[in-house]
């Protein structure tokens, strides 16, 4: 079973990367969190791999950090969560934030993840709350207050995103979750918000 791949990036897209390992190209499915952190094509790369074996296919799921892979495997242990949904969950919430939401039983935050309804959120909390605490995956930094987005910038970013078709309530929730320096420019905050909103 493949657990780690080290090679260079032959091709990358938001949902997958092809890793050239000594002339052999491995297609690895990835969450957005890994995609946004990837170097340019041709650059060296190491990915932590989860190998999913089916009767008719073998799928590789890759992560830049061991923590992402650990969360992916925890999610797979939840009733009704398959590899695609587990990857999609990690595409829409960072591991630290996911751990915090699970530990707090924050159903509203979990239900805001595309593909996760209220019942699924309740199941995630029920099955993973104790596990993330026992495994020490909840960061103490989660309890600190967030700097938040300055009101003047928030209005501009909200206007830009609603013009792109996003609902204002969804934008407001995303902006409330962004922790950034009070002097951060609008472009930076807009980019952070788009990363969270992309599906």
Q: How far is residue 193's CA from residue 128's CA, in Å, rounded to a whole number?
A: 27
Say yes or no to pLDDT of 59 above 90: yes
> Which positions ≥6 away from 24 have C-beta within 8 Å?
none
Helix (H) or strand (E) holding 88: helix 83-92
DSSP tag of 142: G
Residue 130: band (very low, low, confident or very high) from pLDDT cuts 50, 70, 90: confident
Q: How far is residue 107's CA from residue 109's CA, in Å, rounded to a whole number?
A: 6
CB atoms within 10 A of CB 60: 19
Helix (H) or strand (E) holding 172: helix 168-177
* pLDDT value, residue 181: 60
Residue 142: band (very low, low, confident or very high) from pLDDT cuts 50, 70, 90: very low
Say yes or no to pLDDT of 146 above 50: no
* pLDDT value, residue 20: 96
Helix (H) or strand (E) holding 13: strand 4-13
- CATH fold of 4-63 reads OB fold (Dihydrolipoamide Acetyltransferase, E2P) (2.40.50)
Helices 95-104 & 83-92 angle (0-180, nearest 10): 100
Q: How far is residue 98's CA from residue 80's CA, in Å, rounded to a whole number?
A: 18
What's domain 66-142's superfamily in CATH?
5' to 3' exonuclease, C-terminal subdomain (1.10.150.20)
Q: CA 196, 198, 199 angle in degrees (round to 5)?
A: 120
By the 10 Å C-beta count (0-12 exposed, 13-18 middle, 19+ buried), 88 is classed as buried
């Amino acid at each position: 079973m493949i657990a780690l791949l080290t090679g260079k990036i032959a091709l990358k897209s938001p949902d997958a990367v092809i890793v050239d390992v000594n002339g052999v190209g491995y297609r690895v499915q990835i969450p957005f969190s890994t995609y946004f952190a990837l170097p340019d094509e041709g650059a060296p790369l190491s990915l932590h791999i989860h190998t999913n074996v089916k009767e008719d296919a073998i799928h590789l799921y890759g992560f830049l950090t061991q923590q992402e892979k650990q969360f992916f495997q925890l999610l797979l242990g939840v009733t009704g969560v398959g590899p695609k949904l587990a990857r999609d969950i990690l595409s829409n919430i960072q591991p630290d934030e996911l751990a915090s939401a699970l530990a707090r039983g924050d159903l509203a935050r979990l239900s805001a993840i595309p593909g996760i309804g209220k019942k699924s959120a309740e199941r995630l909390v029920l099955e993973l709350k104790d596990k993330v605490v026992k495994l020490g995956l909840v960061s103490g930094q989660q309890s600190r207050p967030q700097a938040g987005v300055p009101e003047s910038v928030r209005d501009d970013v909200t206007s830009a995103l609603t013009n792109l078709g996003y609902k204002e309530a969804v934008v407001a929730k995303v902006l409330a979750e962004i922790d950034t320096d009070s002097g951060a420019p609008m472009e930076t905050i807009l980019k952070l918000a788009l990363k969270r909103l992309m599906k």
